Amino acid sequence: MNATALIAEDEPLLAQALQAELARAWPGLRVLASVGDGHSAVQQALALRPDVLFLDIRMPALSGLDAAATLADDWPAEQPLPALVFVTAHDEFAVQAFEAQALDYLLKPVQAERLQRTVARVQAALRARGASAAPDWAGLRALLGGAPSSAPRLRHLMASVGAAVQRVAIDEVLAFEAADKYVRVLAGGREFLIRKPLKELLPQLDPEVFWQIHRGTVVRADAIDRVTRDEAGKWRLTLRGLDEAFVVSRLYADRFRAM
Written as tens digits, the pLDDT of the chain (259 aa) is: 789 999 999 999 999 999 999 999 999 999 999 999 999 999 999 999 999 999 998 888 888 988 998 998 888 877 888 999 999 886 765 676 676 665 788 888 889 999 999 999 999 888 887 655 445 676 777 777 655 566 688 899 999 888 889 999 999 999 999 987 899 999 988 999 999 889 889 889 998 999 999 989 999 999 999 999 887 778 899 999 899 999 998 888 877 765 5
Q: CB neighbours (10 Å) of residue 160?
A: 14
Q: Tell me the C-alpha distance between 120 and 118, whole Å.
A: 5
3-145 sits in which CATH class?
alpha beta
**Domain assignments of the chain as residue spans, ordered by start:** 3-145, 156-257
* Topology of the domain covering 156-257: OB fold (Dihydrolipoamide Acetyltransferase, E2P) (2.40.50)
Long-range contacts of residues 155-160, Cβ cutoff 8 Å, at least 24 apart: 157/185, 157/192, 157/194, 158/194, 159/185, 159/192, 159/193, 159/194, 160/192, 160/193, 160/194, 160/195
SS3 (DSSP) at 174? strand
End-to-end CA, the chain: 37
The domains spanning 3-145 and 156-257 adopt the same CATH topology: no
